[in-house]
Every structure is written in C-alpha cells, then in structure tokens.
Structure 1
Amino acid sequence: MKIGLIGFGKTGKSVASILLENKKFCLEWVLRQSTVLEHRSVPEFFGIQSEEPGLIYSSSKTTMEELLDKHPVDVIIDFSSNEGIYTYGELAASRNIKIISAISHYKDKELQLLKKLAHKTTVFWSPNITLGVNYLLFAAKFLKKIAPWVDIEVNEEHFKMKQGTSGTAVKIAEALDIDKENINSVRAGGIVGKHEVIFGFPYQTVRLIHESISREAFGNGVVFVAENLEHKQKGLYNFEDILSPYFAV
C-alpha cells in the first residue's frame, strides 16, 4: 500500500518512522510547509537503510497535483493542520485516494468537507488515532450505559505549548454527554498526552486512564486504521466503525 504523509512535525516524524518499519506499506513521499530537507528522503533523515523513496517535498515549491502525478499513492495520511484538507482533499477524492485525517480540531466547515469527500472516496477522521485512547472511549461508553446516573469527570494533560482543549477529551465528553466546559485541562512540561475518565459511584471510584508514552503510538494507530480501511467502500468512517466488528458476539 503506497502512502503519502502530510505534515512532518514531531508527530509526523514518529508516524513516518513506524510506516518505514512496516513492510505492508511503502512511504512514497512526505509533504510539509518548510523547505528544510527539501528533496531529501525520510530514511536518510533517520539514518536508516530502506528501499522506500520517502522523498520530502515542500508545499511552497511543489503542488499536490504535481506530486500525485509523479508519485501516485493509495492513501494520504494527514498530520498537518486544519487547513491541510483544502490542499489535497478534492484532488485525492477525484483520484479515489483514501484519506486518513488525524487532525484534532476541525471546525464544522472542515467536517462538512470531509462528508462531501466521502461521497467519492474512503475517508477516516479521528481527533486521536491511538488505539489505546479509543479502547478507553469504548469502555467509558459501556460503563455509562450500565450506570447512566454515575458522576463523571474528564481530565486531560498535555505538553505545555499545546493550545486549546484536547480534541480527544472533547470527543470523550460528547460521547458521555458531558459539557466540554467541564473538562479539566493541565499543561505542563513535555507530557505527550494523558486522558482520564473518573466514574464516581457511591462508596467507590472507577478510573479509566490512557497515557501516550511516545508519539510512535500515533503511528501504530495509523497502521491499524489503514489495514482496516483497505477494503472499505467510500464513506466517512471513525474509530467506532472500525472497532465495532471486533466487539460483535
């Protein structure tokens, strides 16, 4: 499966390293805003031997159409920004390229665009693409269903420079019917990401905790999603769509 990766920040680099390790995938190219590393390769950047091209391009010098003409791919993985979808979405959909977006904070305008693109190709979106946090979300929803009257608190911790409330925490709050204004946020040091759901029962407490130890966890999530999307028809999918069959009795 040929992969194009958009975004090469800290998380993008970690995802790229996981993709290079997996023989089911071939990292064809990376597109980033910066011209630093232009026309070098991802394997070279990591100092490893690899037959995968993984060429690095700058969006200021190469258009998406030129890139896809030279290096066609089966899937585009987006770890860039809210605006990234506008640079490749329509073109990818017209070429039936699958889209995996891991952007945390889409607004309604971007979500509507994803729905539109899903009429033409397979689109996946999750504000947190790690497997563990989505397991937590499943467990939390089941527990809330068993005891809808329980007291619930949602806490999230991230690195000091992260702005806004965690998109994952917002998704958890929405799933549990909690006002997102009541999410407790902590910003300190280099915390990668921690989410906690506290269920306050009379005389007892249940805590569900997910903590990202390394950003490579996002890469593992991408691999899982890409493998499960391979034979999916066009449409808009989320983690619940992918995980639900595994929970079928």
Structure 2
Amino acid sequence: MKIGLFGFGKAGKAVASVILQSKDHSLQWIYRKTNRLTTRDAADFLGIESDDPGYFYSDKKMSVEALLKEHPVDAIIDFSSKEGIYMYGESAAENEIKIISAISHYSDKEVGFLHKLAQKATVFWSPNITLGINYLLYAAQFLKKIAPSVDIEIIEEHFKDKQGISGTAIRIADVLDVKDEKINTIRAGGIVGKHEVIFGFPFQTVRLIHESISRDAFGNGALFAAEHLINKKPGFYKFEDLLHPYFKV
C-alpha cells in the first residue's frame, strides 16, 4: 500500500520510521507546512535504509490537490492537527484515498466533517491508534457488561509537558459511561503514555493496563488499520469495527 503522511512531530516521526521499515507498505511522501527538509527524504533524515521515496513536500510550494495528482497514494495517515483534515479531506475523498486519522482531539465539527467525507471515502478515526489500547477498550466494555454496577477509576500517565486530560482517557470514560471526574491524571518525566482501568468489586479488583513503551506503537497501529481497511467500502470506521471479528467465538 502506498501511504502519504501528514504530521511530522514526535508521533509522526515514529510512524514514518515504522512505515519505512515495512516490507508490505511504502511511504511515498510527507506533507508539511514548512519548507524545511524539502531537499531530503524521510529515510535519510531518520537514518533508515529504505527504498521508499519518502519525500517531503510543503504547502508553500505545492497544493494538496497537485500532490495527490502527481504522487497518488492509497491511504493518508494523519498525525498533524485537528485542522489538517480540512486541508486534504475533500481531495482525498474525491480521489477515493483512504483516510486514517489519529488525531486525539476533534470537536463535533471535525467529526461531522469526517462523517461527510465517509459518504465517498473509507474514513477511519482513532484518538489513540495503538492496537493495545484499543484491545483494552474492547475488553473493558465486556467486563462492564458483566458487572454494570462495579466501581471504575481511570488513571492516565504522560510526559510532564502534556497539556489537558488525554483524549484516550476521555474515550475510555465515554465507552464505560463514567464521569470525567473518575479520570486521575499524572504528569511526570518522559512517560510516553500509560492508561489503567481499575474495576473495584467488593472482594476483588481487576486492573487493565496499557503502556506505550515507544511511539513506534502508533506506527504499528496505523499499519494495522491500513491493512484492515484495504477491502472496506466507503464509510466511517472505528478501531472496534476492525477488532470485532476477532472477538467472535
């Protein structure tokens, strides 16, 4: 699968690294707002041996429409910002390019726009695109069904400079139908990301824990999504839609 990438921050770099090392997928380009790095390719910048083009393009020199026409891809993976979808969404949908968004925080406006694009394109959105955290979400929902009155507390830990409550923690609270007040936040050092769901029973406790050791986990999750969307028809998909078949007994 030929892939284009939006966003080249810490997570974007990790995702690019994983794609460049994949034998089944090819990183065609990275689209950025800055002119920096346009004379280099991603493999060179990251010090990875790869035959992927991985070229950097800037909106200062090339429009998204021109980029998709001259360098077509099968899927776009987005690790940029919540505004990024407006930059490429319409063009991607018109060209039947699959959209894989890993943006943590979208407003109702952006989510509505994703659903609009999903009328023409295959659109996938996951606030946390790691496979492990989405397995945790799925398993937690099953446990909540078994014991709907159980006490639930959520603990999220991240690096000290991360602002606000993690989008993943809010997502966990939403799917388990608990108030945001049940989310406990820890900011310390360089913690990549850790989420724990505590189920408190009268005589026992169950803890589901997911910890990201490396941001490369985002890349693995993004490729998992890409591979499972290959034959999907246009529509709006979440991670649980991809995991559901694996939970059938």
The residue aligned with 2:71 is: 71
Give the partner amino acid of 1:51. Answer: D
Q: Is 2:200 the partner of 1:200? A: yes
Alignment-derived partner of residue 240 in structure 2: 240
Question: Equivalent residue for 2:22?
Answer: 22
Query: 1:39·1:57 contact (CA, 8 Å) conserved in 2?
Result: no
- Residue 47 of structure 1 and its aligned partner are, at CA, apart by 2.3
Segments of 5+ residues of structure 2 without an aligned counterpart are none
Counterpart CA distance in 1 for 2:236 and 2:198 is 31
d(CA) in 2 for partners of 1:33 and 1:160? 27
- Alignment check: 8 A CA contact 2:173 2:183 kept: yes
Q: Distance in 2 between matches of 1:232 and 1:169?
A: 28
> Displacement, 1:180?
1.8
Deviation at 1:22, TM superposition (A): 1.0
Corresponding residue SS for 1:109: helix
Contact 1:194 1:212 in 2 (8 A): yes
Any residues of structure 2 matched to 1:61-140 within 5 Å, and which?
61-140=61-140
- Separation of aligned partners in 1, 2:177 and 2:103: 22
Q: For 1:118-197, what aligned pairs fall within 5 Å after superposition?
A: 118-197=118-197
Q: CA deviation at 1:181?
A: 3.4
Q: With the length of structure 2 as denominator, give the TM-score of the two structures.
A: 0.98
Structure 2 CA distance for aligned equivalents of residues 27 and 114 of structure 1: 23
Q: Tell which deviates more after alignment, 66-75 or 234-243.
A: 66-75
Which whole-Å deviations, capped at 9, do the CAs of 1:126-172 have from their partners, x for residues lacking one?
00000000111111111111111110001111111212211111111
3-state SS in 1 of match to 2:3: strand
- In the TM superposition, what is the alpha-carbon distance from 1:123 to its structure 2 partner? 0.3
Q: TM-score, normalised by structure 1?
A: 0.98
What's 2:227 paired with?
227
Secondary structure at the residue paired with 2:36?
coil
Q: Which residue of 2 aligns with 1:2?
A: 2
Whole-angstrom distance in 2 between the partners of 1:233 and 1:117: 13
Letter of the structure 2 residue corresponding to residue 125 of structure 1: W
Q: Tell me, which stretches of 5 or more residues in structure 1 are unaligned?
A: none
- Match for residue 33 of structure 2? 33
Separation of aligned partners in 1, 2:165 and 2:177: 17
CA RMSD, Structure 1 to Structure 2 (Å): 1.0
State the SS of the aligned residue for 2:173. helix
Letter in 1 for 2:220: N
Q: 1:41-60, CA deviations, whole angstroms, 9 ceiling, x for partnerless residues?
A: 01111223322100011223
Offset at residue 36 of structure 1 (A): 1.8
Displacement after TM superposition at 1:61 (Å): 2.6
Distance 2:9 2:34 in 1: 10
Identity of aligned residues (%): 66
Distance 1:18 1:32 in 2: 19
Instruction: Give the AA of the match of 1:210.
Output: H
Query: Is the CA contact 1:160–1:190 (under 8 Å) kept in the aligned structure 2?
Result: yes
Structure 2 residue identity aligned to 1:29: W
